[in-house]
Amino acid sequence: MCSAPLFIYLHSLNFKNNQEYTMVNLRFGGYLLMAIGLINLRYQTGHHNALIHSMMIVVPGLLLLAATFIPKTQLILQKKNSQILVAILCALLMVYAFTN
């Protein structure tokens, strides 16, 4: 039920092609990493090196988000191999965030 507004939003965008849809998904991945990293920072307050651990999650999210707005990196991110690599890296960073 929580994802209904997101589902309606995505269908209202009227994507012209698959590349636009891919960029939106990658942007959501960047936002996800940033949010997890900042939440991780909040819950680790007082722990040794909490800022470093959290920034290891936030910075790749920021870089991914920025890369989706730069035309030259969009061309790289539209390739299937790049998408698989980004998905694996995001999954590993999420595992790191939850086990850290």
Name the amino acid, one letter, at 71: P
Using CA atoms, how far residue 21 sits from 39, 74, 90, in Å, is 27, 12, 18
Give pTM, 2 decimals. Answer: 0.77
Domain boundaries, the chain: 18-99
Say if residues 90 and 29 touch (Cβ distance below 8 Å): yes
pLDDT in tens, 2-61: 555 555 555 555 556 666 778 888 999 999 999 999 998 888 888 888 889 999 999 999
Asked whether the predicted pLDDT for residue 95 surpasses 50, the reply is yes
Query: How far is residue 50's CA from residue 86's CA, in Å, rounded to a whole number?
Result: 24
Burial of residue 66 (CB within 10 Å: 0-12, 13-18, 19+) is exposed
Going by C-alpha positions, the residue among 48, 20, 16, 35 that lies closest to residue 97 is: 35
